Chain A
Amino acid sequence: MNIDYNETIPNNVGLADDRRLLRALERWQPAYLQWWNDVGPVETSDFEVYLRTAISVDANGWAHYGHLRMPEYRWGIFLTPPEENRQIAFGQHKGEPVWNDVPGEYRTELRRLIVTQGDTEPASVEQQRDLGRTCPSLYDLRNLFQVNVEEGRHLWAMVYLLHAHFGRDGREEADEMLERHAGDPDKPRILEAFNESTDDWLSFFMFTYFQDRDGKFQLAALAESGFDPLSRTCRFMLTEEAHHMFVGESGIMRVVKRTCELMREHDSEDVRPHGGIDLGTIQKFINFHYSICLDLFGSERSTNAANYYSMGLKGRYQETKIDDDHVLTDAHVIVPRVEGDHIATEEMAALPAMNLKLREDFAMDSQRGLNRFNKAIREYGLDVELTLPDPAFNRNIGIFRDINATPEGRLISDDEWQTRKYDWLPSPDDYAFVRSLMVPVIEPGKMAGWISPPKRGIHGKPIDYDYVLFH
């Protein structure tokens, strides 16, 4: 087979001359395309979508716009160019030169980190595969597909690391990424939040707001890695992840604004009869997505997390900007603890609490967007505030797993939880209502009634641009 790999797979890793990578990709690429066709976006192979493609890592190359069919998207492999003389910034190898090859002693741990991260990328594509049928506008449909192809590229990025650095095991793991599927009872995705379905657009915006923000923090922590290829890969991925969060935050903002408009117009909180999504329902969706995303960070006390840090494999968010010794063997932190009927605190060693640290950074970042939503609500003269639920609320992992708590963090009984959970989480009726609004709008420039138009279009194009061409 004579394929110009540098053309079909844009890259800055010297792919065409790398026998090991070529051998791995010859098998994996067809399997990936098959996967895209089988469980990627439903019935979209003919659509021409106005997409951004990264064709190089320089300023001109990373955002190349044009209409194209998604299966022909050029999924590329990019690493941010190496930093000269970069040193490991934390853990017991602090100050040593970064590794360009996998250290044998950490092979298993690195592989597990890469596989866990990689598994989330195709999962979200699978979770969102039906959304194209109910888009609120062409603009949003294009954004969905942009997110999808980039999640696909992020899978490529992780698979590249597996193929390039982990030999036969890496190739097997790369194959498994295409064999596990979101919500598949037999071969589910590794992390639970990536097995939930995303079948309405409010969920999609929440997903890109919360789950992709988890992605941002995970990638940021991996970008600190002493294993330089992982660090450089993640740094490049972060530029794309930012766009996904933009889709989420602007999406929720537009829904909130539309709701506020309807509230003012009809002087009522109940905007459902007028085709809007009431703020109460939006709050419930926030409660659900935020709480399952906290689970993604793992247990507050984690041996793996401690090891990853000490080994120099996964750092903290913005590690180098933190003012401490970056070794932390003698550091302590305060962690929550369930004590009878209330939540107290205790001191524990900082290393095993790494997950909690990253989770708290995520929480602060999540709150920033909510502040902007609340500012917008106030601008409509309304006295309502959207909030993040307490970390004890609706948890399946970690110290709050076995207790029930209200969004305010008050511990309650099983009975009370059963009776009241749909006061706080979307009920089947809420989902049914939101789904009832999901009617496709594909006329350029038109918006569904439950969402306001965006401020501006993509890449200088007008809002009523033909972002997706159907054939």
Chain B
Amino acid sequence: MIEFSTHPDHYKHWQLSIDDRVATLALDVREDGGIEPGYDLKLNSYDLGVDIELYDAVQRLRFEHPDVGAVIITSAKDRVFCAGANISMLAQSAHGAKVNFCKFTNETRNGIEDASAHSGQRYLCVINGTAAGGGYELALATDHIILVDDGASAVSLPEVPLLAVLPGTGGLTRVVDKRHVRRDRADFFCTTGEGMRGKRALEWDLVDELAPRSRLTEAAGTRAAALAAQTDRPTGAQGISLTPLQRDIGDGEIAYRHVTVTFDRAGRTATFRLRGPDGPPPQDAAAIHAEGDRFWPLAFARELDDAILHLRFNEPELGTWILTTSGDGDHVAAADSALLANGSDWLAREITLYFKRTLKRLDVSSRSLIALIEPGSCFTGSLLELALAADRSYMLDGAFEGSNVAPATVRPTAMNFGPLPMCNGLTRLESRFLNDSSKVAEIEAETGNDLDAKAAEELGLVTFIPDDIDWEDEVRIAIEARASFSPDALTAMEANLRFAGPETIESKIFARLTAWQNWVFQRPNAVGEGGALKLYGTGKQPDFDRKRV
């Protein structure tokens, strides 16, 4: 089982150090520390285990270290920055494992950019040796790249010439879309295995700054201090601890405090039972800080985040995720308003940002999402986003016969109109009503109101509103039908329907780049017996099918 929780005390591959406003994350991969047997992590190459630690470090820096305003990513190894994803690991991995790995690493890099853009934690990368493939892609996720100018160290994206795959961790996209490297130069860069050194790398905008070896530390310190000086994060503030998640994993379910997921292996579904706050959440910043990682939105997001990752990696056959909630909508609304009213507080801001990223993780999960909105549920505000993230939603019209639980309602809050955008830059409502802002406005006018099934359907918030008599069959048939389709076709269809509207760097990475990469990952030229990825390291040369497709 792949385990996502860790702690700096247990890192095998990263050294985290903090000096006043500047943190340094130094990559020092343990060669024999792979998460799976069968490969050595040479030259600071990484696998999922290395990236799980990176994700943990980025999260902890945000929550546990409020006074850190800049983060340096560098390598603790001499003359080697990072050789990218480990090739032998990729070559021995099944297709699904490669895809999952790439998605997670992409999410982590997007998280780094999110910290730079919204958290006041600016990332910079100090490349002190060779940065190849995923190594350079990690650098691309930062705001500022300093390359050692030693006549030898280069940045490169050698995937096409060496491995017959793509720089799929954002590389192709960020080179042209973020760094605005001219496309003809990018074309040359991505086909030259050796990459670019020093002056030319700078001229071509592949890096931002050069420094000689003897001045590298100094240049990094100067730049980091300048970036840290721009932060709006507080000084002298106390961070909160992200304590280990409490969870029980059984054969049929995984249970946290606010999240329980039960598995129906025969039906190939997982049902998320998501619970709102137990009681009224605190409203002022001091009380939120005092609750720390027990504060419901944070505790909930951490649990949901972990559950999503757990299911993605460990339960690939549970193809349909059913989203249900229970609890008091008032408490959810109170939690939303506590976060937004304290928007200038660093912790409240972090929690909202984390909630946003967790929902994005749900959006890009290759599972069918069906929301069931039943009496006793609390699809309010931030939790309403789950229903909006779903491919389809069913809301019971009225109550169940013989039950005294009041009919289900949904309730928009300010959380639905801005703070939790999708990767396309739009809110889920804006994506839902593309080119019809009046629909969004109509819903916004209902902010704070409980909407029953008919109203919700009218406003376009839910898909179907069967009544008590139809409910069971409609829902069952929908779920059974879903489970019967080709998982590949569903994944592809959902990925196309979910992200209507404009493209962003993030959406391009998940759509265009990832889709092409996953195509290449299936092709014999990469992974066939004579494919470049399969043969890499053996000295045998690939035998390409020369037909263009």
Contacts and interface: CB of A to CB of B under 8 A. Distances in A.
Interface of A: 92, 108-109, 111-112, 172, 176, 179-180, 185-188, 190, 303, 305-307, 309-311, 328-329, 349, 351-352, 354, 402
B540 A111 contact: no
Interface stretch (B174-182, B354-362, B436-444, B531-539): B531-539
A188 B537 contact: no
A303 B194 CA distance: 15
A180 B539 contact: no
Given A306-B539, A329-B540, A187 B150 contact: yes
A305 B161 CA distance: 17
Contacts of B200: 172
A372 B541 CA distance: 43
Given A92-B541, A185-B214, A186-B212, A108 B152 contact: no
Interface in B535-549: 536-541
Given A187-B213, A309-B539, 5 more contacts: A172-B200, A185-B213, A187-B152, A329-B539, A329-B540
16 contacts: A108-B161, A108-B192, A172-B200, A180-B150, A185-B213, A185-B214, A186-B215, A187-B150, A187-B213, A188-B150, A303-B536, A306-B540, A310-B540, A351-B540, A352-B538, A352-B539
B519 to A, nearest CB: 24
Contacts of A111: 194
Contact of A190 (B152, B193, B539): B152
Nearest to A353: B539
A187 B539 contact: no
Given A108-B194, A186-B213, A187-B212, A303 B539 contact: yes
Main DSSP-derived SS at the A contact region: helix
B151 interface: yes
A112 B130 CA distance: 14
B194 A352 contact: no
A311 B538 CA distance: 12
Contacts of A185: 213-214
Given A185-B214, A187-B213, A351-B538, A179 B161 contact: no
Contact of B214 (A109, A186, A352): A186
Contacts of B151: 176, 179-180, 187
Contacts of A309: 539
A180 to B, nearest CB: 4
Given A180-B152, A186-B212, A187-B212, A112 B539 contact: no
A179 B200 CA distance: 15
Contact of B539 (A108, A172, A307): A307
Interface string B161-197: 1000000000000000000000000000000111000
Given A186-B214, A187-B212, A188-B150, A351 B539 contact: yes
A183 B419 CA distance: 54
Choose among B151, B194, B215 the residue with the greatest number of A CB atoms under 10 Å from its CB: B151
A195 B200 CA distance: 25
A189 B206 CA distance: 24
B213 A352 contact: no
B198 to A, nearest CB: 9
A352 to B, nearest CB: 6
B183 to A, nearest CB: 20
B539 A310 contact: yes
B31 to A, nearest CB: 8
Interface string B471-499: 00000000000000000000000000000
Contacts of B540: 92, 306, 310, 329, 351
Q: What are the 4 tightest A-B residue pairs by CB atom distance, in nearest-first order?
A: A306-B539, A351-B539, A186-B212, A187-B151
Nearest to B543: A92
Nearest to B213: A186
Interface string B299-329: 0000000000000000000000000000000
A186 B212 CA distance: 5
A349 B538 contact: yes
Nearest to A305: B539
B33 to A, nearest CB: 13
Choose among A109, A111, A306 the residue with the greatest number of B CB atoms under 10 Å from its CB: A306
Contacts of B541: 92, 307, 310-311
Given A349-B538, A352-B537, A352-B538, A186 B194 contact: no
Choose among A108, A176, A190, A310 the residue with the greatest number of B CB atoms under 10 Å from its CB: A108
A54 to B, nearest CB: 29
Nearest to A354: B539
Contacts of A311: 541
Contacts of B149: 186-187
Interface string B128-164: 0000000000000000000001111000000001000
B194 A112 contact: yes
Nearest to A176: B151
A333 to B, nearest CB: 12
Interface string B210-241: 00111100000000000000000000000000
A351 B8 CA distance: 40
B535 to A, nearest CB: 9
Choose among B161, B200, B213, B540 the residue with the greatest number of A CB atoms under 10 Å from its CB: B540
Nearest to B539: A306
Choose among A179, A188, A303, A311 the residue with the greatest number of B CB atoms under 10 Å from its CB: A303
A329 B539 CA distance: 8
Contacts of A349: 538-539
Given A303-B536, A306-B539, A351-B538, A186 B192 contact: no
A428 B102 CA distance: 50
A258 to B, nearest CB: 40
Contacts of B152: 180, 187-188, 190
Contacts of B193: 108-109
A133 B152 CA distance: 32
Nearest to B32: A402
B44 to A, nearest CB: 14
A384 B461 CA distance: 92
Contacts of B213: 185-188
A190 B213 CA distance: 14
B539 A186 contact: no
Contacts of B537: 303, 306, 352
A174 B487 CA distance: 55
Contacts of A351: 538-540
Contacts of A92: 540-541
Contacts of A187: 149-152, 212-213
Contacts of B150: 180, 186-188
Nearest to B42: A299
A180 B213 CA distance: 12
Choose among A111, A187, A351 the residue with the greatest number of B CB atoms under 10 Å from its CB: A187
